[in-house]
A and B are shown apart, each in its own frame.
Chain A
Amino acid sequence: MNAAADFARDRIAVTALAVLALILFAAFFAPFLSPQNPYDLAQLDLLDSKLAPGARAGAGFTYWLGTDDQGRDMLSGIFYGLRTSLAVGAISTLVALALGMAIGLVAAYAGGWVDALIMRLVDLQLSFPSILIALVLLAVAGQGVDKVVIALVVVQWAYYARTVRGTALVEKHKEYVDAARVMAFGAPRIVFRHILPNVLPPLIVVATVQVAHAIALEATLSFLGLGMPITEPSLGLLISNGFAHLISGRYWISFFPGIALLITIVAINLVGDRLRDVLNPRLASHYSA
């Protein structure tokens, strides 16, 4: 495998990967990097509220990105917000990936009416925009971290199911699957041990780009007030909080969390694009043929 070397040939993608690593680092070590814990009310000073970027805090450090209406350091808020946004995006994508993969594999391997039923469902769902489906689910279920994750899983699984089914249908007719059948292996073993590893590459590409989608969607839902609760503020909620102050010229409360969101999404997309080029199954089969 020279996939890593292949990946490294694109300088933009490598830069994006480095940026992404930095973002992950900031999210993981938010408690150590942040000048204050933005959700420990004892550390907040209301006298420091709505300060412009670069102002000095009463506690001695500098608010490099300003403060919000609670006197919360925006930089710390962004570090903690990144945590929530990335965690929700990654967890929902992983669950959706597992679910969609299983359903797609079943559809491809079973064929017949099972396949037809599942694919009709997938088509039906994909004909509606994900934001609409997520809005409906959250309108019904209410707020909460778990509900947001469930909504994001429901929105995403169909993409994976379709991708997996498409690839698995091709793999199913290859000789190694026939060989496994001749060995009298059971269907579950053939599907999960033989076909699954071969359908993974295109799936990884879809998943990478989907994490970015999930993060953007979660931010949008939180902005609308239907996503994360106030106790688990994601970047979307931070931006939403700043909306009210935007008109009075206090741009930083919305602006900086938005920039953090933007950089995260663009970095993930660039890495995903490069991964697609490297792992492109069509190109790969073209070279090996």
Chain B
Amino acid sequence: MLGFALRRLIQSVLVLFVMSALVFAGVYAIGNPVYILVSPQADQAEIARATAALGLDRPLWEQYWTFVAGAVGGELGKSFVWNTPAVQLILERMPATLELALSAMAIAVALGIPLGLLAGLRPDSWTGRTIMAGSILGFSLPTFWVGLMLIMLFSVELGWLPTSGRGPTTEVLGVPLSVTGWEGLRHVLLPAANLALFQLSLLIRLTRAGTREALAQDYVRYARAKGLAMERVMRVHVLKNIAIPIVTVTGLEFGSLIAFAVVTETIFAWPGMGKLLIDSINVLDRPVIVAYLLVVVAIFVAINLLVDLLYGALDPRVRLAGARA
């Protein structure tokens, strides 16, 4: 087990390293941010001075080396626009994004699993079909458009919920959070529901398929033959057996929640990392783009590693296959 964990860890570090080189080469090889930063009237000497000040006159490999040396120490360069360390900018906005993503996940799990169980229990009933149709729609609807429609319906037409921002936040252990207050909660609801839509559809399908499969198994038949109520069979026998794939997928999908938060944050003006990314792309603020990507890649690699290790711990077959390869 230790060998397996170690091998996966080394693989993850390797992935991180490769991604950093790719991201660096991609972002740094194209486009010159100096022209955006200096005034249009700047002469050649001024441009050269700005280029040197940003370290952009060095050869690419040297820039990369400086970058890697800094990255290991947690320093990813200063934002061209904000003139503060890029990592700090990202980390400042991370709680907002994590709060949004976790709220979305909570909504998806709280609704998706019961609906999936229901649809799996009665696949041919009116309820089951409606739930499945809703899930198909949830897969097909473009997230950003649903976000606009939510704003249109709940904010503009009905006037129930605010259209943008985080609302008032309260500090919990030094981290500003919206969900702790009523007004903040009202601000979270729409963006979280919007972000949750895809995961919700996915969870419904997954739970439904797992339930249908489990219901056909012998242990369910025996439990029923023993005289247990269907409700208890579902809760104790079925749910336990379909839990592992659900937990795995939910964990893996957390990464895509963070990625899709870029869209939701832009629509609802949610001050998270994703909105910062879009703003930075628009002004070619390279260090922030690179820092965002590396932070997100690190989150992804960490999630994948965690899920893999968890899987290895839960299922010995995975461990053995990993050892052979």
Interface set of A (CB-CB < 8 Å, partner B): 124, 127-129, 131-132, 135-142, 212, 216, 219-220, 223-226, 236, 239, 242-243, 246-247, 249, 251, 254-255, 258, 261-262, 265-266, 269
Q: How far is the CA of A216 from the CA of B296 in the complex (A)?
A: 23
Question: Restricting to B120-162, which residues have a CB under 8 Å from any CB of A?
Answer: 136-137, 139-145, 148-149, 151-152, 155-156
Alpha-carbon gap, A243 to B163, bound state (A): 12
Return A136 CB to nearest CB of chain B, in Å: 6
Q: Are A246 and B140 in contact (CB under 8 A)?
A: no
B156 contacts which chain A residues (CB < 8 A)? 246-247, 249, 251
Binds A, one of B26-34, B42-50, B313-321: B26-34
Chain A's interface: helix, strand, loop or mixed, by majority?
A: helix
Q: Are B149 and A255 in contact (CB under 8 A)?
A: yes
Chain B residues touching A, range: 35 or more
- A139's nearest neighbour on chain B, judged by CB, is B281
Query: Is there an interface contact between A131 and B277, defined as CB atoms closer than 8 Å?
Result: no
B256 sits at the interface (CB 8 A): yes
Contacts of A139 in B (CB 8 A): 27, 277, 281, 289
CB-based A-B contact count at 8 angstroms: 101
Q: How far is the CB of B6 from chain A (nearest CB, A)?
A: 19
Q: Are B144 and A219 interface neighbours, CB within 8 A? A: yes
Is there contact, CB below 8 Å, between A262 and B26? no
A84 shortest CB reach to chain B, Å: 15
Cα separation A140 to B28 with both chains bound (whole Å): 8
Report B-chain residues with C-beta under 8 Å of the C-beta of A224: 144, 262-263, 266, 278
Specify which chain A residues have a CB less than 8 angstroms from the CB of B277 in the assembled complex: 135, 139
- A115, B136: Cα distance in complex, Å: 35
- Give the residue among B31, B144, B278, B281 with the most A Cβ atoms within 10 A: B144
The answer to whether B152 touches A142 (Cβ under 8 A) is: no
A226 touches B259 (CB 8 A): no
Q: Is the CB of B293 within 8 A of A269?
A: no
20 residue pairs A–B, Cβ–Cβ below 8 Å? A127-B300, A128-B255, A129-B260, A131-B263, A132-B259, A135-B262, A136-B23, A136-B26, A139-B289, A142-B30, A216-B142, A226-B278, A246-B151, A254-B148, A255-B152, A258-B149, A262-B142, A265-B140, A269-B136, A269-B140
Are the CB atoms of A140 and B144 closer together than 8 Å?
Answer: no
Instruction: Judge whether B262 and A225 touch: CB under 8 Å.
Output: no
**Cβ contact within 8 Å between A262 and B278:** no
Specify which chain A residues have a CB less than 8 angstroms from the CB of B155 in the assembled complex: 247
Please name all residues of chain A whose beta carbon is closer than 8 Å to the beta carbon of B148 when the two chains form the complex.
239, 242-243, 246, 254, 258
Closest 4 CB pairs of A and B: A258-B145, A129-B259, A129-B256, A132-B259
